[in-house]
């Protein structure tokens, strides 16, 4: 059997392994020693997650591509799915409120199952980041309090559906799911996530490719910020939030890549300068602006939010491409 790991061919000698699951067990031990998590296996253009790997003999398998993720990638993907699911919940209930959901009550059962999954997402992320949500604060409550509210809403929906929808439908708290999206974003920017990123190093070629892609995406991010600011200024908070989260995704990718490049290529960002300002100073400026942005979001001050996005954040990003060019020169990219 031809063995590949994340699309790269590897030489593997089979000793006691007889089935595909035996190979997975051996590779999982190998990955665990390197801080990697097994995600699944690709065979004949079909992906099988860990729990669905077929019982097949090695002799009957021509080739298999075993997919591993770093813990930080796993957190990022899981949090992104959680944010997207909160988007779908908000859109679903908005449609019902606008009178477009009269025949969609059957979807409530799927929603109940989805809320169970959303709580699992928080548990998984908390374990990977080693965060105690009873102590991790957001606004005036612990994150665990918000998770408990998901459970309360789920129970109320279950009772409503169990009564064949003959009772009073539970009220939908859109603020809860907007808060959950913000909590997910804060987790991506947390010190715990930064430590996980530094411990999950990508290969040098991947890092060079990533920083080049970030440079190419910069013009779009400036556009997103301007569009988000206009949305908040005109009262279209929904569009503003969507644009803001897209930008947060970009910043996470940039920060992750920056931290790893410094470690892998031994780059001193104090020596990377543009117009007399070091990249360390630039990154601190961006981080401070992000912290200020999240605080403004928590305070629901949409006017100040529009201002910081349109002026301060845009100005801070305008010469970031020049810094990336200097970094690429230093690492031979």
The pLDDT tens digits of the residues spanning 175-198 come to 899 899 989 988 988 888 878 876
Entry pTM:
0.65
C-alpha distance from residue 120 to each of 147, 159, 288 (Å)? 10, 21, 31
Task: For residue 30, give its domain range.
Answer: 2-70
Q: What is the pLDDT of residue 105?
A: 61
Residues 325, 211 share a domain: yes
CA–CA distance, 72 with 31 (Å, rounded to integer): 14
Looking at the chain, the whole-number percentage of residues with pLDDT higher than 70 is: 93
Residues 153 and 267 in one domain: no
- Cβ atoms < 10 Å from Cβ of 113: 10
Residue 276 lies in a domain: yes
Q: What is the pLDDT of residue 315?
A: 92
One domain, residues 124 and 20: no
Would residue 194 count as lying in a domain? no
Residue at which a domain ends, from 70, 95, 120: 70
What pLDDT digit, counting tens, does each position of 1-45 carry?
A: 888 888 878 888 888 889 999 999 999 888 887 778 888 999 988
CA distance 34 to 65: 18
Same structural domain, 205 and 326: yes
Query: Does residue 322 sit in the same domain as residue 211?
Result: yes
Q: Which of 123-132, 157-166, 236-245 has the highest mean pLDDT?
A: 123-132
- Domain shared by 58 and 117, yes or no: no
Residues 41 and 77 placed together within one structural domain of the fold: no
User: Does residue 144 carry a pLDDT above 80?
Assistant: yes
pLDDT at 133 over 90: yes
Q: Indicate whether 195 belongs to any domain.
A: no
Residue 299 in this model has a pLDDT that exceeds 60:
yes
Task: Dump pLDDT digits (tens) for 81-119.
Answer: 999 899 889 888 887 777 655 545 667 888 899 999 999
Shared-domain flag, residues 81 and 62: no
Is residue 42 within 8 A of residue 67, CB to CB? The reply is yes
**Both 9 and 46 in a single domain?**
yes
Cα separation, 138 vs 140, in Å, equals 6
Res 167: pLDDT: 57
Residues 206 and 327 in one domain: yes
> Directed axis angle between helix 71-97 and helix 107-129, to 10°?
150
Q: Dump pLDDT digits (tens) for 252-286.
A: 889 888 988 888 888 999 999 999 999 999 999 99
The 8 Å CB, 24+ separation contacts for 162-169 are: 165/105, 165/108
Please indicate, yes or no, whether residues 267 and 325 belong to a single structural domain of this protein: yes
Residue 7, domain member (yes or no): yes
Q: Are residues 321 and 205 in the same domain?
A: yes
pLDDT surpassing 70 at residue 125: yes
Instruction: Examine the fold and report which residue of 187, 220, 248 is the final residue of a domain before the chain moves on.
Output: 187
């Amino acid at each position: 059997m031809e063995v590949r790991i994340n699309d790269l061919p590897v030489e593997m000698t089979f000793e006691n392994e007889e089935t595909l699951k035996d190979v997975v067990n051996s590779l999982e031990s190998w990955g665990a020693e390197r801080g990697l998590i097994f995600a699944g296996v690709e065979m004949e253009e079909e992906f099988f997650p860990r729990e669905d790997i077929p019982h097949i003999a090695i002799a009957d398998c021509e080739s298999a591509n075993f997919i591993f993720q770093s813990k930080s990638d796993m957190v990022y993907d899981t949090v992104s799915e959680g944010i997207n699911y909160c988007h779908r919940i908000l859109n679903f209930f908005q449609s019902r409120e606008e009178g477009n959901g009269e025949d969609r009550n059957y979807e409530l059962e799927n929603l109940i199952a989805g809320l169970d999954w959303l709580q699992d997402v928080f548990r998984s992320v908390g374990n990977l980041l080693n965060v105690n949500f009873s102590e991790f604060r957001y606004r005036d409550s612990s994150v665990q309090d918000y998770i408990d509210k998901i459970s309360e809403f789920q129970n109320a929906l279950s009772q409503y559906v169990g009564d064949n929808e003959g009772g009073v439908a539970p009220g939908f708290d859109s603020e809860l799911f907007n808060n959950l999206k913000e909590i997910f974003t804060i987790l991506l920017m947390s010190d715990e996530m930064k430590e996980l990123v530094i411990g999950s190093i990508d290969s040098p070629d991947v890092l060079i490719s990533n920083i080049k892609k970030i440079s190419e995406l910069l013009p779009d991010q400036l556009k997103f910020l301007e569009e988000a600011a206009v949305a908040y200024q005109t009262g279209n908070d929904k569009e503003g939030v969507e644009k803001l989260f897209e930008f947060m995704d970009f910043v996470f990718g940039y920060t992750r890549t920056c931290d790893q490049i410094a470690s892998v290529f031994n780059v001193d960002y104090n020596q990377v300068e543009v117009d007399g300002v070091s990249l360390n100073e630039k990154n601190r400026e961006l981080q401070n602006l992000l912290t200020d942005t999240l605080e403004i979001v928590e305070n629901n001050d949409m006017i100040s939010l529009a201002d910081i996005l349109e002026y301060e954040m845009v100005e801070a990003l305008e010469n970031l491409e020049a810094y990336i060019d200097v970094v690429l020169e230093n690492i031979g990219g």
